[in-house]
Structure 1
């Protein structure tokens, strides 16, 4: 079954009745959803005890998708990432079997460079054998050489909306990871039922669909709609 999730686990009052009344925010969220995307790791490091506490707060089948630090993607720009990536994986490994995909979101200014990307992906795969997904934001990544390199290292391209690089039509197979940021206003706009159904139809059976339109509280509402849709 695919994982329907949001970025973070903040529950707006408008849908609070769908969740248990007691418990931590994460525990209440995890009573309804099977996964969550953690974005805070992009900005700062977390102690292993934080990841351990999160893992203990959720059911056995729950998974955490975790965003790779901006030091790797935005500051180092995929160069010399061995050390910081190894540290990151060591930290998130405290989630144990509840660790899901690692998300690599690239800056809009980062062009595809086969040498830099190849070295970075090789370093990542030396440390992490799990699901690794990438959301490039420069058009140079929408090319056969980039596709070939991603395939070589078993890295799945994110189906993002809005799509700065690869629109949904560019995905011949169901997507392993969908990120819905909200359109037309990113992080705010809500999706219609028809749009949610359309993205759900494009999702792989073992994939993730993450609603990132959290600024207005629409993410949880949209995720619940997708969760409730007919199979």
Structure 2
């Protein structure tokens, strides 16, 4: 299994001194990031698509084996809620083709208010280009059903799993594609926590897994430690039980 661990985003000034060297200019961050981690999840595309020149710059700044996971436009998922989106899906696919082989996955993140609709999902999946891999993040528990998994499996679309944001559903590791996609949103991970995730991933039939930690200062460290486990360079710890958070506690949900 090939693990591509990384973080949600890479250009954060507060990472200087923790992950990036002190004084590193912003335009050097992606090159440094990609020398240490194998993938990054780009979230600002949710609001605005980058120009072809920016995409070419990203591709040129990273090594051949590096991969980008790119969040789809909110016009598709949040404003239109998957309805009548043939044109924006086509535009997205054409734009992201500028990344070439470095485009790993397109992430479609559904809004929490969007409930299960099998016909809607089936029509949407039919629009997705077969040459670009896709992952679907559902954020309403009604989607967690075998019939939904079957629809995703028919199109080789990954169901996003992981540690959810506050209030989000706990999505099972359900293999609906030949690759996996995790979003690990907790704010701290012990060696035991990472070891447990590595063991769960190793038990899946996937040949490749994308795993992204939250854009906190420790995010790159967690990604490096999980990568070390996958490569046999570290030994997992023993997980300790965690107390369940009180209802309503925790930070506000973000991307």
TM-score, scaled to structure 2: 0.79
Aligned residues: 218
Q: List alignment gaps of at least 5 residues for structure 2.
A: 233-255
Partner residue of 1:219? 219
Change (3 A) 1:192 1:42: same
Matches for 1:122-201 after TM superposition, within 5 Å: 122-124=126-128, 127-162=129-164, 164-168=168-172, 171=174, 176-182=180-186, 189-201=187-199
Picking from 17, 37, 40, the partner of 2:41 is 37
Q: Which structure is higher in helix share? A: 1
Gaps of 5+ in 1: 183-188
Task: Please name the residue that 2:228 is paired with.
Answer: 228
1:16 matched to 2:20:
yes
Does structure 1 retain, via aligned residues, the 8 Å contact 2:181–2:210? yes
Report the CA distance between 1:228 and its aligned residue. Answer: 2.5
- Whether the aligned pair in 1 keeps the contact of 2:20 and 2:32 (CA below 8 Å) is no
CA contact (8 A) 2:164 2:170 kept: no
Quote the Cα distance in structure 2 between the aligned partners of 1:130 and 1:145: 23
**2:110–2:136 contact (8 Å) kept in structure 1:** yes
CA distance in structure 2 between the partners assigned to 1:123 and 1:175 by the alignment: 20
Distance in 2 (alpha carbons) for counterparts of 1:51 and 1:199:
32
RMSD, aligned CA: 2.2
Q: C-alpha displacement at 1:155, in angstroms?
A: 1.0
Distance 1:78 1:195 in 2: 35
In the superposition, the TM-score normalised over structure 1's length comes to 0.86
